[in-house]
Amino acid sequence: MTSSLQQKLNSFYRIAENDIVPQLLVKTAPIETDSPTIRSTAEKLVSGVRSQKLKAISIENFLQTYDLGSQEGLALMCLAEAYLRVPDLDTQTALIKDKVGSVDWAQNIGKANSLLVNLATLGLSTTDSVLHWGLDKNGFTAAIGSVTRKLSEPVIRTAVGQAMKILGHQFVLGESINDALKKAASAERRGYRHSYDMLGEGAKTAADAERYFQSYQAALEAIATCRNGHDIYGQPSISVKLSAIHPRYELLQKDRVFAELYPKVLALCLAAKKHDIALTIDAEESDRLEISLEIIDKLSQEPELKEWNGLGLAVQAYQKRAYAVIEYLIDLGKTHNRRLCVRLVKGAYWDMEIKKTQERGLSDYPVFTRKVNTDVSYFACADLMLKHTKEIYPQFATHNAYTAAAIMQLAKKYNADFEFQRLHGMGEKLYAQIVNQGIPCRIYAPVGEHKDLLAYLVRRLLENGANSSFVNKIHDPATPIEELLMDPLTQAKNHDAHHNDAIPYPKDMLQPSRVNSRGFDLGDSVVVAALEEYVAKFANTLPLTNSITPAGGKVIKINDPANPEQDVSITPQLNEQDLKNCLDLASAAYPSWSKTTPSFRAKILETLAKKLDENYEELMAILIYEGGKTYADTIAEIREAIDFCTYYANQARSLMGMAIPLPGPTGERNELSLHGRGVVACISPWNFPLAIFLGQIAAALVTGNTVLAKPAQQTPTIARRAIELAYEAGVPRDVLHYCPSSGKTVGDIVLTDSRIAGVAFTGSTDVAWTINQTLAARRSAITPLIAETGGINAMIVDSSALTEQVVSDIIISAFQSAGQRCSALRLLFLQDDIADKTIEMLKGAVAELKLGHTSQASSDIGCVIDANAQKELQDHVDWLKDNAQLLIEAKLPPSKGSFFAPQAWLLSDASQLNKEVFGPIVHIVRFKANELANVIDTINNKGFGLTLGLHSRIEETVDFVRQHAHVGNFYVNRSMIGAVVGVQPFGGEGLSGTGPKAGGPHYLLRFVHERTFTQDTTAAGGNATLLASVG
């Protein structure tokens, strides 16, 4: 891909909707979607659909009966997503009770047009009655209950299992390619074509990827036996999901993708060419688009693929880059004298794209926020494709009658050949009419076992089952036909703003609490290349020299933990007298600083947040070389530091801006106000040397305190740079003191001084005990200690969980940041029934991780902080060798650095682990389905209470764990690290900390004194307020 073309695609990646939609509307001018011809054609198609009786059982009938935004629809979706993969009977029964038993199915009996759907509803209602008999006194349901109470749980499980399989059959053509080919024959006799997709969500392991690859190879050979004598466009074809045939199909692993994945794709293309079959690469998430285009580009240049016009790509119209991608593909066709197949789809990952963009704090969304804007994009792309049929064979995937009518009119105008595409099980009545007119339609036909279709099925249900979906409305006689014939281009033109205000911009998603800090898009090659270039050049500036601490005395040399021969900085240490001087200055500065307004102090924090953002790349580089952090970890940490500043600034304005009026008797004024405490000592750890360091400081400063800030001895460089930026932001030097020194010296000199009015500490429980004892031994005011310590953090996985998701979350929770997070997973409880499968997949996924120097963006995991940490972990492994079974161990890179291999060990009992092991080691314990209560007791009895993870699709299980687990942060069906300021306030209980939670609404209250003011307003005589109220 040329740099100019890449820049053009990049310019549209996250372009503002208010900029791109007007451009696309101009490009749709030739289409005339509001023409009477299009409306008339669409109306005939809709009427034709409604005049035909739906199949006895179909997905349309289910969607008609169960709105997926309803309780019933959600229950049905959850059952479909989870039931077929659950191996054990106890969990199957619990899942049925949880989903079916929570819904009034009886209200839907008789609503469907299909007898079989009504019978299925009756069966769900029957199951509900068995599970909750006597709760519903409605006559019909009560009658069902009287009969079905005689049924046994095995009968219920069998009935629900069959119902889920019936639902699965609506979307999956066959469980094997041969089965699918047989079933496709009748449709092909009616004029349809098929594109077969061997179902497989993203592979997690090399074994999964190889299995999917072989299934594609076998499918190509089987499809070849069904050639029908037509040209390549009339033949059955195949669709390939690249993430299914490589476990690391992502931009940051580009070198691996082209070394390992590309040869497989080429082999499939050569097989397709051999049989004159088309092969289309499926569209996936937006951050994989660029690398997919590079693969298409390279394939287009392959001499062995010359003269083959079957290479194709799916393009998602909901992406803002869609039109530019079509232009790129046209250019590719011209350059290499080939015709590419282009399947234009609306897109199926919309909700994921929105959430991911918000979580990462990116500039804007890669997708449109209004459905109508996606329609505009679709029509603009369609027009462009139909104008360039020499370079492109247009394939239009849609279930919308109005869109189909417009495409037919447009193709007629350009005299262009094309085809429609629809999903198997969807749009049959619509396309029966279109195919009868001689217009080709290809059915996108998923193939695979029902247990493999789950994520795919749910995505399709969500995409097509929403109230706004045309598929939902076209079969609903209550929806006027006029509503289905609204011209989307006219609708778009009538919007004052094209961005949907109901979906806030990423930076505004947390307002009014705070602005969402900015992130970097590591799925954008231009961004990644710029960051890598900066980080590489920054190495030439090392070692960094000190600028804000006194010269002379003891000096600490900081080395790159991944490359000990590289000096990062030289930091003078403060001696006892230096610390006393800092304490004198901070004490003297307190009175005037405490009298500044909360608004003034908050403004300084907001300025500091801007300074951090302005120096983003520099801070990233320091964190990489000093802390061994990956690109993703550095971005997250800088964002957290910024978030602490803006969140606490906003909190201080709210809490301290004005005295709080309190109720009381007439003639009396009562107010509560908050004030700083004095000098606060902030002692931070090396694992978050910027975010926690600044979070403590920001909280203390904004509440009117002066600060002595001690950084960890392993990471003074990033702390020093943060202090420099704080000074630039307006914090007076006498108010904030940078105190690099040993823990013992700070303990002896600072913590024993009665002028210390508060301590904020994050670190080990042992050190927290020592600090607490030191403060308690002083014969002075009792001083509050805010301690955030570690934990033996557990994750519980039951058999309803999706193994692929579980494995991803285990790797993130246990191994990201080399396991050096307070919140990291240490103890994994796996239900026996899925333990072997989970461990096997985890083993394969760990093998795919790349350990290496984190200056390379492709490194997944860096080293541990230093040789001492490495030795402590090795000592623990030596103990494990005698007491546990090694299950998994990653491969170490050739390096002199303090790398430690991520690994998993099987314990015979959870009682074997009674201390926090701070590194990438996860301990696994198996449990039986009926032992959940015992597992919770075991976790609670450890005495720690920081984070807990749970993977389960059963809400009753979630509620039980939530009610009984004594932990500060409980995460369900996601990773258990990465708490976000103001969203997931962080901190534990028991041995894991004192509270209040950092980044939460109560944190600042620990840094202040409360003062009550009471005044008798009638002391001078008379109660004017009371007298004025007399009627």
Could you list the active site residues?
A: 788, 822
Please list, in sequence order, all residues whose beta carbon lies within 8 angstroms of the beta carbon of residue 666, skipping any fewer than 6 positions away: 1023, 1025, 1026
Contacts of 557 (CB under 8 A, 6+ apart): 543, 567, 569, 570, 571
| Complete DSSP assignment for 355-423 | HHHHHHT-SS-SB-SSHHHHHHHHHHHHHHHHH-TTTEEEEEE---HHHHHHHHHHHHHHT---EEEEE
Q: Where are the alpha helices (DSSP H) in 731-866?
A: 743-746, 765-777, 803-815, 832-847
Classify residue 313 as left (phi > 0), alpha (psi -120 to 50) or beta.
Answer: beta
Helices (H) and strands (E) in the chain, counts: 38, 25
- Specify whether the backbone of 989 is left (phi greater than 0), alpha (psi in -120 to 50) or beta: beta
Residue 915 Cα distances to 55, 269, 441, 767, 884, angstroms: 61, 54, 63, 14, 15
Cβ neighbours of residue 767 closer than 8 Å, sequence gap 6 or more: 743, 761
70 Rama class: left (phi>0) / alpha (psi -120 to 50) / beta: beta
Q: How many CB atoms lie within 10 A of CB 1026?
A: 11
- Residues in CB range of 622: below 8 A, 6 or more apart: 544, 568, 717, 718, 721
79: CB partners within 8 A, 6+ apart: 95, 96, 99, 100, 160, 164
Question: Quick one: tokens of 781?
Answer: 């005011």
The alpha-carbon radius of gyration of the chain (Å, integer) is: 32
Pair 217, 465: CB distance under 8 Å: no
Cα–Cα distance, 486 to 33 (Å, whole number): 9
Indicate the residue type of 960. F
Sign of CA dihedral 469, 474, 479, 484: positive
Alpha helices in 132-171, H assignment, sequence order? 139-148, 153-171
